[in-house]
């Protein structure tokens, strides 16, 4: 369960004007190079952790969703990714061995790899974890001029989203994306469109994929033990049968005449 102080973001596409200030603030905070002359045509990469895309009539952000139970962390065999108590999913690059299981596990396709480097690492948004430790908002939320990106306690953001629904009847598709999807995320999205109209995966299960992985891993020892006992039993039976056949053969063998 999330702790009350867990932080997150509320993204409201009805307030986004596509200025890209959030993406530029992310670049500045992470000291990332410019990768596109048009901020709306930039793509997520190892050098770009947050983008704004025009999807039909709307502007929609793409970034790490900071899942409550992150699949990337569960898939990592060396604990290089970790869900922090404050909310961000953080990356310990000193632990990473470059297996890239996190990239396969992420239901949103967020982690990127430094393919061009000799010692590549995984890159993604860390929700400005260092700023949160200092009591500051994320860089993107600070830069947003319209309130399209809001920062705060996750529970408070959910309450804020519901208040926007109540105060603006008919303006929103009254669904908070990220409350239930993949077991919940720390980045929440509200819009006048459905998830698929925003380019986000729709119909995601409410159970975190990480739990499904753990269930399989939990039963593997039972399967291994059962298989070992079964194979051991077969080996004993076959070995015992050979011994019996050998003994019977010896018993019925005709004595040699002298």
User: Left, alpha or beta for 140 (phi > 0: left; psi -120 to 50: alpha)?
Assistant: alpha
Instruction: Give the Cα separation of 9 and 126 in Å (integer).
Output: 12
For residues 189-218, average pLDDT: 82
Confidence of residue 257 (pLDDT cuts 50, 70, 90): very low
pLDDT number for residue 229: 58
In the block, which residue shows the tokens 């770009």? 48
For residues 142-171, average pLDDT: 98
Residue pLDDT, tens place only, 11-36: 999 999 999 999 999 999 999 999 99
Confidence of residue 244 (pLDDT cuts 50, 70, 90): low
How is residue 139 written in tokens? Answer: 């860089």
Q: Are 172 and 197 in contact (CB under 8 A)?
A: no
For residues 134-160, average pLDDT: 97
Q: Are 42 and 36 in contact (CB under 8 A)?
A: yes
pLDDT number for residue 208: 78
Q: Are 101 and 67 in contact (CB under 8 A)?
A: no
Confidence check: pLDDT of 2 > 70: no
State percent of the chain over pLDDT 90: 76
Instruction: Give the Cα separation of 178 and 240 in Å (integer).
Output: 60
Residue pLDDT, tens place only, 104-141: 999 999 999 999 999 999 999 999 999 999 999 999 99
Residue pLDDT, tens place only, 224-237: 556 555 665 555 55
Residue pLDDT, tens place only, 55-69: 999 999 999 999 999
Q: Considering the entire predicted model, what is its pTM?
A: 0.81
State percent of the chain over pLDDT 70: 79
pLDDT number for residue 207: 80
pLDDT number for residue 241: 59
Residue pLDDT, tens place only, 168-198: 999 999 999 999 999 999 999 999 999 999 9
pLDDT number for residue 211: 65
């Amino acid at each position: 369960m999330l702790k009350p102080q867990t932080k997150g973001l509320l993204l409201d596409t009805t307030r986004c004007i596509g200025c890209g200030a959030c993406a530029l603030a992310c670049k500045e905070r992470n000291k990332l190079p410019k990768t596109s002359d048009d901020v709306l045509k930039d793509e997520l990469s190892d050098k770009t952790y947050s983008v704004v895309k025009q999807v039909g009539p709307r502007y929609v952000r793409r970034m790490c969703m900071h899942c409550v139970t992150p699949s990337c962390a569960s898939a990592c065999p060396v604990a290089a990714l970790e869900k922090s108590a404050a909310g961000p999913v953080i990356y310990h690059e000193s632990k990473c061995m470059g297996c890239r299981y996190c990239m396969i596990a992420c239901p949103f396709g967020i982690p990127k790899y430094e393919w061009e480097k000799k010692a590549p690492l995984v890159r993604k948004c860390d929700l400005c974890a260092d700023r949160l430790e200092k009591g500051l908002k994320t860089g993107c939320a600070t830069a947003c001029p319209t309130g399209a990106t809001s920062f705060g306690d996750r529970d408070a953001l959910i309450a804020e989203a519901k208040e926007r629904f109540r105060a603006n009847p008919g303006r929103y598709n009254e669904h908070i994306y990220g409350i239930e999807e993949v077991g919940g995320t720390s980045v929440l999205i509200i819009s006048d469109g459905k998830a698929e109209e925003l380019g986000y995966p729709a119909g995601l299960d409410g159970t975190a994929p990480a739990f499904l992985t753990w269930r399989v891993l939990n039963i593997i020892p039972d399967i291994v033990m059962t298989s070992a006992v079964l194979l051991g039993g077969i080996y004993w039976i076959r070995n015992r049968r050979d011994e019996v056949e050998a003994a019977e053969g010896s018993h019925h063998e005709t004595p040699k005449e002298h």
